[in-house]
Amino acid sequence: MREHAPVTVTPEEQAEQRAYMEKVRELPHRPTSYYVVTYGCQMNAHDSEKLAGMLSEMGMTEASSREQADLVLFNTCCVRDNAERRALGNVTWLKELKKDKPELIIGVCGCMIQQPGMAEKILRQYKFIDLAFGTSNLHRLPQLLYEELESARPVVEVDATENLIAEGLPVKRLRPDHAYITIMYGCDNFCSYCIVPYVRGRERSREADAIIREAEALYAGGVKEIMLLGQNVNSYGKGLEGGVSFAGLLRQLDAIGIPRIRFMTSHPKDLSQELIEAMGECKHVCPQFHLPVQSGNDGILRAMNRHYDRAAYLDKVARLRKAVPGIGLTTDIIVGFPGETEEQFQDTLSLVREVGYDSAFTFIFSPRPGTRAAAMPDQVPADVAQDRLERLLQVQEAAQLQAQRRFLDAQEEVLVESLSRRSAQAVSGKGLHGISVTFPGSLRDVGEIVPVRITECANNTLRGERLDKEKE
């Protein structure tokens, strides 16, 4: 058996959970409505779609707010300390609501709960919580909820099975035109600051055939865009029989005909020339790449255990831009990493200026218990880190505006997501390069792909005029 071989939930276990869905549906005292609160990344967002799918199968309808729901689930993140504090703060807020509504069921799940001892700690401190389960137990929600409803006692389950893959879960998608597809789980990189390998487990890839079947069904159902998800999609396929790489998977998905294919996230060390070539050749793969750099300084990158240096990263950026002219590049950056000096921080600023990202997710280093970086000496004072973050944001904003000027007078195909928040006579959506575009339109445009000429660059947004005739 290969190391870290994935364990797929058996058909018998799947059937058992479906039976529990029916049992919950038949209970006279079951909740009739639910509300899922999501923190964190797209992986968590897709997990919440699965949670919603199972709750819907159990006969519940989605409530318009937490206050209106009979069951509230918090799907948590633990990548940064503030994500944990926000989640627990919101859970505490429901304590008062439960005093007036004692039948309210409150559940907490996700990455935060997967940390060793966290579920038990939360149940001790927050005695009004009824349900707690980890990322490996998501597929067992029907059974856990049934046990809670029948016993009227808190139920907690955190499985240590790191390499589990659960196929066939019902999904209630947030949008009919867009769908997430998880292609792999976990991470083997063990960056010194990151808790993900400890709460999401080691890398394991879904079988390519299962992914293709899911994508074909989504396409047949009218989905116009899929987002492939994984902690490190570039390493997809390692350990799978048949040797399908991520580039090979992209080519198979491209042949289906779904208009748009996106993916995230990618580790620079695993970005292969094969994948770069596939990006340039696949018709439906969007010209967008999220390539987290984290720091522009080689010493900090070594301390982060990133396994690449600045020169290697910039070389891959250059090769991507050669293969896909005009590609949209985005990134993640951490400031205030332990031991980071002002000179090293300046290297990050210069890299941001050199690359010219379309956008960047920027963070102050957050020590995560259990990671090597949390115990490193020379922790950067909070005021110094905050000052660096503010200066980084200024540099990124200028670089971003310059990068977006390449779109002026160009045409973008925009998948409309919603009405604009600022005007009922305008709509907003993502262009091919992943940047938000706002232009005149109405609710009838939502879910449609509309050609737009870009007329203006604003902060984080492009504005334009439609090139088709607006629907009558």
Average the pLDDT over 29-47 and give the result: 92
CATH 3.40.50.10320 fits 408-466, yes or no: no
Answer for the pair 342, 231: CB distance below 8 angstroms, yes or no: no
* Cα–Cα distance, 27 to 149 (Å, whole number): 9
pLDDT at residue 470 tops 80: no
Best CA proximity match to 448, nearest among 411, 412, 415 = 415
* Cα–Cα distance, 247 to 382 (Å, whole number): 41
* Cα–Cα distance, 378 to 300 (Å, whole number): 13
What are the distances in angstroms from CA 247 to CA 251, 272, 425? Answer: 6, 9, 41
Residue 5: its pLDDT value, please?
A: 58
* Cα–Cα distance, 254 to 324 (Å, whole number): 16
Q: What number does CATH give the domain 166-406?
A: 3.80.30.20
In terms of DSSP bridges, do strands 105-110 and 33-38 run parallel, antiparallel, or are they unpaired?
A: unpaired
Q: Give every CB contact of residue 362 below 8 A, 6+ residues apart in sequence.
A: 332, 333, 334, 335, 389, 392, 393, 396
Structure tokens at 425: 């006579």
In terms of DSSP bridges, do strands 449-458 and 461-466 run parallel, antiparallel, or are they unpaired?
A: antiparallel
Q: Give every CB contact of residue 44 below 8 A, 6+ residues apart in sequence.
A: 38, 75, 76, 77, 110, 111
* Paired strand residues for 73: 36, 107
Distance between alpha carbon 284 and the CA centroid of its chain, in Å?
A: 21
Determine phi and psi for 60, rounding to 5 degrees: -100, 150
Answer for the pair 451, 416: CB distance below 8 angstroms, yes or no: no
pLDDT tens digits along 405-424: 999 999 999 999 999 988 88
Determine phi and psi for 69, rounding to 5 degrees: -90, 150
Residue 8: its pLDDT value, please?
A: 76
pLDDT at residue 2 tops 50: no
pLDDT tens digits along 87-103: 888 888 888 888 889 99
User: Does the model's pTM come out above 0.85?
Assistant: yes
Average the pLDDT over 55-71 and give the result: 95
Share of the chain above pLDDT 90, in %: 74
CATH 3.90.1150.10 fits 7-164, yes or no: no
Best CA proximity match to 159, nearest among 138, 173, 178 = 138
* Cα–Cα distance, 69 to 35 (Å, whole number): 6
Radius of gyration, alpha carbons of the chain: 23
**What single-letter DSSP state applies at residue 449?**
E
Angle at 181 (CA atoms; ends 135, 74), nearest 5 degrees: 35
**What single-letter DSSP state applies at residue 380?**
P
Structure tokens at 223: 């989905």
Q: What rounded mean pLDDT belongs to the chain?
A: 92
pLDDT tens digits along 313-331: 999 999 999 999 999 999 9
Average the pLDDT over 430-450 and give the result: 96
Answer for the pair 261, 221: CB distance below 8 angstroms, yes or no: no
pLDDT tens digits along 213-227: 999 999 999 999 999
Average the pLDDT over 287-315 and give the result: 98
**What single-letter DSSP state applies at residue 202?**
S
Q: Domain map of the chain by residue range? A: 7-164, 166-406, 408-466
